[in-house]
């Protein structure tokens, strides 16, 4: 549980939602997608609906058309946060020592393989 399935490296000034759709299209559809309010966008919800995935994303405060939200299932989001924190236990990942994106991504993949795929 909590194993990362895919990565998409972006610049620090790029919002996560901009690469959510391409990242999801490269993975197998899941039953649910748990995300924070930053993922509350109509185009992402439409993509998830087409894939048969239930969006567990809280509505933004300024959303006019509200979507149903399961707060009990949303509590599982802590697994995602713990996974990210576990990856950041490695100082080179947390501080991004590498100047080249390819080297940083290679290190991230190596750390992920060591932590989550070496059972």
| Domain residue ranges in the chain | 16-116
Q: What is the pLDDT of residue 119?
A: 58
Q: What is the pLDDT of residue 3?
A: 84
Integer-rounded Cα Rg, in Å, for the chain is 16
Split at pLDDT 50, 70, 90, the class of 118 is: low
Q: What is the pLDDT of residue 7?
A: 85
pTM over 0.85: no
The predicted model gives 46-53 an average pLDDT of: 96
User: What are the C-alpha distances in Å from 41 to residues 2, 11, 14, 31, 102?
Assistant: 24, 21, 16, 19, 29
Statement: residue 26 has pLDDT above 90:
no
Reference 112, options 7, 9, 25, 33; nearest CA is 7
């Amino acid at each position: 549980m909590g194993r990362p399935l895919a990565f998409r490296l972006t610049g620090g000034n790029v919002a996560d939602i901009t690469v959510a759709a391409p990242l999801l299209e490269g993975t197998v559809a899941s039953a649910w997608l748990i995300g924070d309010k930053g993922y509350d966008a109509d185009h992402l919800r439409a993509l998830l609906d087409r894939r048969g995935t239930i969006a567990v994303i809280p509505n933004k405060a300024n959303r006019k058309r509200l979507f149903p939200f399961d707060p009990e299932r949303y509590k599982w989001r802590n697994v995602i946060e713990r996974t990210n924190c576990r990856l950041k236990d490695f100082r080179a990942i947390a501080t991004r020592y590498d100047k080249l994106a390819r080297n940083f991504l290679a290190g991230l993949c190596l750390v992920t393989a060591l932590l989550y795929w070496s059972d």
